[in-house]
Amino acid sequence: MFRKEYSKYLILCFSIISSLTITAQKKVLDHTVYDSWKSLSETAVSNDAKYAATVVKVQEGDDYLLIRNLSNKKELIVPRGYNYLIAPDQKYIVAQIKAPYESSRQAKIKKTADEKMPKDSLVIISLEKFSLSKIPNVKTFKIGKDFSDYLAYTIDDTLKIKDKAKADEKARTLIVRNIYTAKEDTVKNVTDFIFSRNGKSLAVVTKPEAKDTISKPGIIYFDLNKYSRKTVSTGKTLYKNPALSDLGERLAFLATTDSVKAEIKNYSLYYFSTHDDSAQLIVDKNKTGMPREWNVSENYNPEFSKNGKRVLLGTAPIALPKDTTIPDFEKAQLDLWHWQEPLIQPQQLIELEKKKKQTYLSYVDLEDGYKFYQLATEQMPIVNISDENNGKYALGTSNLNYLFDTQWDVAARLTNDIWVLNLNNHTSKQIQTGLQAELSLSPNGKYLAWYNVNDRQYYAYSFDTGKEICLTDKLNINFWDEKNDTPSIPNSYGLGAWMEKDDAFLVYDAYDIWKLDPSGVKTPVNITQNVGRNNKLTLRYIKTDKESRFIKDTEKILLSAFDNTSKKHGFYELEKSNLKPLIMDEYIFSSPEKAKDKEVYLFAKSNFNTSPDLFITSNNWKTDTRLSDINPQMREYNWGTAELTEWTTFDGKQSQGIIYKPENFDPNKKYPLMVYFYEKHSDNLYQYSPPAPSRSIINIPFYCSRGYIVFTPDIQYTTGHPGESAYNSIVSGVEELAKNLWIDRDNMAIQGQSWGGYQVAYLVTRTDMFKAAGSGAPVSNMFSAYGGIRWETGRSRQYQYEQTQSRIGATMWEAPELYKENSPIFFADKVKTPLLIMHNDKDGAVPWYQGIEYFMALRRLQKPVWLLQYNNEAHNLKERRNCKDLSIRLQQFFDHYLKGDPAPVWMKTGIPATEKGKTYGFEIE
């Protein structure tokens, strides 16, 4: 029914559009364009810079994998390709192929059983020939990270499994295939498989079905150099969590002899090396060093240290079995809230599964008789071993003593007690108590560095000497966010990266990058030489090698650059002490992908009126080559332009905003004005927004295309008065903008979501300058909202008002007058503006009753108000069908009030519950 009514509405749109097209030359965006609008995803360039690839995604329909040969410009499109990997030798790409969208859609319409739904496939693509080998019904695949002769994949053979949950856990058939010879080997009843990093070993976990009385569960080890296979363990009831060392010569896994149906299973850690005939048990609950009543946890995947000499595992207290003496239907069901619990019940319940699966780090020394060492404890639950788990030192942290305060104190979430563990002599030492800091362990494990949020300085602690040094106290530089406008301790600008030998690390101020010596011997150096501050450029380090743990001393450093004045983006390069600009332009650039073996960068660029496309440069942006044209249809539509504007707010502050005009803007015409805002928007001057169904806010190009001016003002806040701050910034900006003769000041509207939705709800109590307003998920009553819960996380909302976005800066009992001043519901009688509210019944951020409170107040006062409540939807819509519905209603609502279009049925009379799901009220009577 929705599709039929939606189609009727689109026919009406087309009739309007056809008349507009005659005069506008270019088409106007409408709700039919969304599905085919494309975006880029999963971009990659091969190590040798010969090939580039990306997944081109449509909003609804079939995506495709685009591969370009960068030498001969040849292009290959793989329909529905996704989740691809470029083989390490750059000769092949392996990718999955989704089942056709329309086939899956039709199967859903026919209510096809899950096991009979269309299946994904696998494709092996020869990059030299651009030839394809397809394999049907493939569920998953893996290849070795550093070596690519072999591919392993599982067959999606779920036809016999009707329970979807069981189908996902089902043992499947595994195929091990030589990519070059196409020779295949089959392993049945596989539940897990893993390659070593070098790709020369493969471990496979098997679990035969219950009716198979011949086969047994086990672990199979493949030596892919010799192509030999060996069952290294069998006879246990369950095997899981295999791990291989980087070189593949060592294997660890968990296994149990307990019944498959046992509620609590006792797992043990087993170990195999290529020098052994079979795997041996090395850790169980009776192992020397294992805490009493603890055991190996199945909720941690064992892992080897980088050098393969340690195997890390998780342990945990043995859980108590469920009480079966009382049947479930006779047990009381309740949540008990206690005033002294560190975390309130809702948060405990949200985090319950995580808590049940909590593990504590330990390790086995494979070079010293398989000795076991328990590192983490219930009092010190988090431990990290330095130097890729090879290190002499480990860092232990605990925030358990500060959990109670996290309910209202944001800084408490950074508060930890800190220990240093020496793994050579197995001693530990507490070095900090209640430190509020952002921590960073150096890559080679020589230092711990941190930014102390209280004194706003950087520190370093030497593990070898035990000395702690403040590194920045003699600098007259702020390393904290100078633009922080909430009543909370500002965060740092961040730590960029460590240098190769742990002898320095990079940190940021508002503009530049500083190099700090953690030993404190060398004076801090501004490596960008104040170029950033002098030119109002924000310069930041870009990690071009995703696997690098540090910056090499001889490495050229690529920096992103943002011009805070012009809003341009670009890149700089730093080589030793030579800093030079590469490009600054009126675009936004994606983080570039560098070819591992060449100075070649793959990136996307776009601005408001240029769709993001893929480009490549081999000469540091002196020139670039365009590799894609994913939205050529954009050139057919009336789009828009974006320009920066400035004004002085009512309380004397300088502010900025963006004015978006239709592409065919005529200064001699008057245009209706749409105002949208959220905090500060002006830095997004060059941001691209595709036409898309709305999750909660207006789509700016959609409204520009349809003849609206859109204005996005920044808001300058004063603590204690967020509502009035919005009034001072937004209304002053609109008043200034409305001085232009091309603004139709009699037809202006405003829309916002969440924090923006609250401010819309407030603004309509303070001004009637807007002819219509849209408020999404608004807080209307700060008294009741203050005591509410953020149901997605289970956290109290109190911290928001005292320290963060809501910006009251005091508790409700300390400043009740501020809570009233900023609550729109107490001034609902002042509202003269028709208001469209969206608030959904599964909103996990703003309690749903906030929208209801405001709606009920305005309804009682007989103010024109509508409430859109999307069922089982979140703070922002997730279901595409609901997004499309909201987009239509927003357009109809604003077009009615600002353009004089007839009101649709849903606005005139609503939709009775008896008609729910049968009609949507889009039609005009």
Q: Give the mean pLDDT of 722-745.
A: 98
**Per-residue pLDDT tens over the stretch 844-901:** 999 999 999 999 999 999 999 999 999 999 999 999 999 999 999 999 999 999 999 9
Between the alpha carbon of residue 469 and those of residues 462, 480, 499, 503, the distances in Å are: 9, 19, 18, 14
Q: How confident is the model at residue 16 (pLDDT cuts 50, 70, 90)?
A: very low
Does 443 score more than 50 pLDDT? yes
Q: For residue 269, is pLDDT > 50?
A: yes
Residue with tokens 């000795």: 371
> Does the predicted TM-score (pTM) go above 0.75?
yes
pLDDT in tens, 153-196: 999 875 454 444 454 467 899 999 999 999 999 999 999 999 99
pLDDT at position 714 is 98
The H-or-E segment that residue 254 falls in is: strand 250-256
Query: Tell me, what DSSP letter sits at residue 728?
Result: I
Q: How far apart are CA 143 and CA 195, in angstroms?
A: 7
The predicted model gives 301-327 an average pLDDT of 94
Closest listed residue to residue 50, CA positions, set 66, 70, 68: 70
Closest CA relative to residue 599, chosen from 578, 576, 573, 560: 573
Mean pLDDT within 912-918: 95
- The percentage of the chain sitting over the pLDDT mark of 70, rounded to a whole number, equals 96
Tokens of residue 1, six digits: 């029914």
Mean pLDDT (whole number) for 398-408: 95
**How sure is the predictor about 69, in pLDDT bands with cuts at 50, 70 and 90?**
very high
The angle subtended at Cα 40 by Cα 38 and Cα 45, nearest 5°, is: 150
Please answer whether residues 277 and 259 qualify as being in contact, where contact means their C-beta atoms are separated by less than 8 angstroms.
Answer: no
Using a 10 angstrom Cβ sphere, with 0-12 exposed, 13-18 middle and 19 or more buried, the burial of residue 578 is: exposed
- Give 2's pLDDT tier (boundaries 50, 70, 90): very low
Residue 58 has a pLDDT of 96
**Whole-angstrom distance, CA of residue 661 vs CA of residue 671:** 9
Q: What is the Rg, in whole angstroms, of the alpha carbon atoms belonging to the chain?
A: 31
- Name the band, by pLDDT with cuts 50, 70 and 90, for residue 7: low
pLDDT digits (tens, 9 = 90+) for 576-589: 889 999 999 999 99
Comparing 110-119, 521-530, 674-683, 730-739, which segment has the lowest mean pLDDT? 110-119
Helix, strand, or coil (residue 284): coil
| Top-confidence residue, 1 or 699 | 699
Mean pLDDT throughout 420-445? 97
pLDDT at residue 482 is higher than 90: yes
Sorting pLDDT into bands at 50, 70 and 90, what band is 209? confident
Residue 19 reports pLDDT greater than 60: no
Per-residue confidence band for 102, with pLDDT thresholds at 50, 70 and 90: very high
| Three-class DSSP labels, 548-571 | CCCECCCCCEEEEEEECCCCCEEE
> Which residue, among 48, 67, 247, 47, has the nearest Cα to 144 in the 3D structure?
247
Check residue 18 and give its pLDDT: 44
Looking at every residue in the chain, the average pLDDT score rounds to 94
Band (428; pLDDT cuts 50, 70, 90): very high
DSSP per position, 123-186: EEEETTTTEEEEESSEEEEEE-SS--SEEEEEE---TT---HHHHHH--EEEEEEETTT--EEE
Answer yes or no: is pLDDT of 920 > 60. yes
CA-closest candidate to residue 694, choices 456, 870, 573:
870
Mean pLDDT along residues 773-797: 97
Cα–Cα distance, 736 to 642 (Å, whole number): 17
Is the confidence at residue 736, as pLDDT, over 50?
yes
Residue 914: Cβ-neighbour burial (10 angstroms; 0-12, 13-18, 19+): exposed
State the pLDDT confidence band at 300, using cuts at 50, 70 and 90.
Answer: very high
Residue 20: pLDDT band (50, 70, 90) is very low
Helices 880-899 and 2-24 meet at what angle, rounded to 10?
50
Partnered with residue 516 across adjacent β-strands are 505
Taking 90 as the threshold, does the pLDDT of residue 925 lie above it? no
Give the bridge partners for 753, in sequence order. Answer: 776
Burial of 383 (0-12, 13-18, 19+ CB in 10 A): buried
Mean pLDDT, to the nearest integer, of 5-24?
47
Task: Report whether pLDDT(13) > 80.
Answer: no
| pLDDT the model gives residue 21 | 44
Residue 115: pLDDT band with limits 50, 70, 90: confident
Mean pLDDT of 727-744: 98
